[in-house]
Structures are given as structure tokens and as C-alpha cells.
């Protein structure tokens, strides 16, 4: 957007001021003053073309509109965060299902989760590994239809003893369409607290031994 030197001087601005990046942001009142002043100083033999005048007005309207839109988005984002905070606070003490390849075997509580099948299968398995990556238990789920399918492990090992409580890795696979396919797993964990500290991530749930996970990734609440 360009204004004449006479118009700029009449408003008490120097040419240097007019081209400084920080001075390019004009308020509505200052813009209108510049526009009016420029019209009074224009050459009568070469008046501003209607197209030029409308173009300058359109540029200002666009800038004003973008500013208003940005403010609206910020207000909307703030409202969404507040809404999520209220909703997430009600999850404290409840169990949720989130995308994860790790699960928690508690003292007296099983390791629970779901596998996601993109088709029917006649054989689905879940391998549970310890911290060294050694398979300590394989759960045979047999034939399953498409969708989310629940599984759980009470910690019982093949030798009749029980595995110690803690975090275990989970790996699932199934034969779908004649091919051995890796499956996405969703693990259950109890929400211990919520964190509102990082505006970039939004509301974050603290799932104890499973760590922190964004509220938007919660698949189920139970």
C-alpha cells in the first residue's frame, strides 16, 4: 500500500518512518487520515484512479479481516482448551485406552488392551515382552472379526508362576487375507492427573507408569 510523500509529511511522519517495518502496521484511524490527506494533495490533472483507490481500500480491509480472523481463532482455541480441561478433569481416577505398545501389569490388576483389526482373521496373537525384549507370554485370541478386540493378561506364566508387576511391551499380529499383519494396539491405563502447562499440546493426561499422553489421543473411557 503506497501513500504520497506530502500525505506522510502532513501527518508528521518522516520517509524513514514510513518505510520502517514496525511502522507498516496502521490503525484504522491513521489509515483513513493518510487516505484523506493523499486525496487533498493529489495532482488535479492526474487524480487517483478509482481502481487504485479501491485497491488500497481492499488491501486495508484484507489486513483488518486477517487480524480479526486471527483474534477469533485465538479466542476459539482458548475456548476449546478450557472445554477440554473441564472434560479431562472428570477422567481423573478413571481408565482410558490410548495408542501404545506398552501396558502395565498391576499388583492384583491385569494388563489390558485392545487390538485393531482391519479385517477378519482366523488367528490373532498378542506377544508380551519384558524389559529385555524377551517374550514371557503369548496370548492366542483365535478367530476375530474386524474392529477393536479386547485382550487381557493376569500375569500368569506358562510355568504356573506369576510375572512381577510393571511395564511390559506388547506386540500383536494376525493373519489377514493370507498375510501375516502387524496390528495397532491400544492399552488401558488409569488417569492420575492432568497437565495444562503446554498450550501447543493442549490438555495432557498423566497415566502413571505409561507416562503422559495428549487428551485428543484417548480412544475409550471405561
- pLDDT bracket for residue 21 (50, 70, 90): very low
Q: pLDDT tens digit string along 170-198?
A: 999 999 999 999 999 999 999 999 887 66
Which residues contact residue 191 at a Cβ distance below 8 angstroms, ignoring those fewer than 6 apart?
A: 88, 91, 92, 93, 94, 95, 96, 205, 206, 207
Specify burial of residue 65 (Cβ count, 10 A radius: 0-12, 13-18, 19+).
exposed
Q: How far apart are CA 221 and CA 96, in angstroms?
A: 4
Please list the residues that pair with 171 across neighbouring strands. 127
Taking the complete model, does pTM exceed 0.95, yes or no? no
3-state secondary structure of 38: helix
Specify burial of residue 129 (Cβ count, 10 A radius: 0-12, 13-18, 19+).
middle
Q: What is the largest CA-CA distance in the chain?
A: 102
Nearest partner of 143 among 110, 120, 168, judged by Cα: 120
Greater pLDDT, 202 or 111: 111
Of 24-28, 50-54, 75-79, 212-216, which one has max mean pLDDT? 212-216
Examine the pLDDT at 108 and tell me if it is beyond 50.
Answer: yes
Query: For residue 53, how many other CB atoms are within 10 A of its CB?
Result: 14
Of the candidate ranges 7-11, 189-193, 216-220, the one whose mean pLDDT is the lowest: 7-11
62, 129, 154, 207 from 151: Cα distances, Å = 56, 15, 10, 19
Which residues contact residue 152 at a Cβ distance below 8 angstroms, ignoring those fewer than 6 apart?
A: 110, 111, 112, 113
Q: Are 97 and 185 in contact (CB under 8 A)?
A: no
**What domains lie within the chain, and their CATH numbers?**
5-88 (no CATH), 95-189 (2.60.40.4070)
Of the candidate ranges 14-23, 120-129, 191-200, the one whose mean pLDDT is the lowest: 14-23
Q: Are 38 and 4 in contact (CB under 8 A)?
A: yes
Amino acid at each position: 500500500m503506497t501513500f504520497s510523500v506530502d500525505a506522510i509529511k502532513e501527518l508528521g511522519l518522516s520517509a524513514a518512518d514510513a518505510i520502517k517495518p514496525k511502522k507498516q502496521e496502521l490503525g484504522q484511524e491513521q489509515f483513513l487520515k493518510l487516505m484523506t490527506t493523499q486525496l487533498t494533495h493529489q495532482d488535479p490533472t492526474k487524480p487517483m484512479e478509482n481502481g487504485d483507490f479501491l485497491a488500497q481500500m481492499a488491501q486495508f480491509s484484507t489486513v483488518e479481516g486477517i487480524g480479526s480472523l486471527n483474534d477469533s481463532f485465538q479466542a476459539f482455541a482458548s475456548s476449546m482448551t478450557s472445554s477440554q480441561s473441564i472434560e479431562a478433569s472428570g477422567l481423573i481416577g478413571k481408565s482410558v485406552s490410548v495408542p501404545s505398545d506398552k501396558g502395565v501389569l498391576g499388583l492384583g490388576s491385569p494388563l489390558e488392551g485392545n487390538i485393531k483389526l482391519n479385517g477378519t482373521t482366523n488367528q490373532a496373537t498378542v506377544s508380551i515382552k519384558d524389559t529385555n525384549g524377551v517374550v514371557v507370554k503369548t496370548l492366542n485370541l483365535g478367530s476375530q472379526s474386524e474392529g477393536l478386540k479386547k485382550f487381557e493378561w493376569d500375569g500368569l506364566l506358562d510355568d504356573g508362576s506369576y510375572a512381577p508387576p510393571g511395564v511390559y511391551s506388547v506386540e500383536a499380529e494376525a493373519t489377514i487375507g493370507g498375510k501375516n499383519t502387524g496390528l495397532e494396539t491400544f492399552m488401558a491405563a488409569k488417569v492420575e492427573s492432568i497437565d495444562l502447562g503446554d498450550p501447543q499440546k493442549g490438555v495432557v493426561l498423566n497415566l502413571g507408569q505409561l507416562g503422559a499422553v495428549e487428551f485428543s489421543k484417548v480412544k475409550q473411557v471405561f
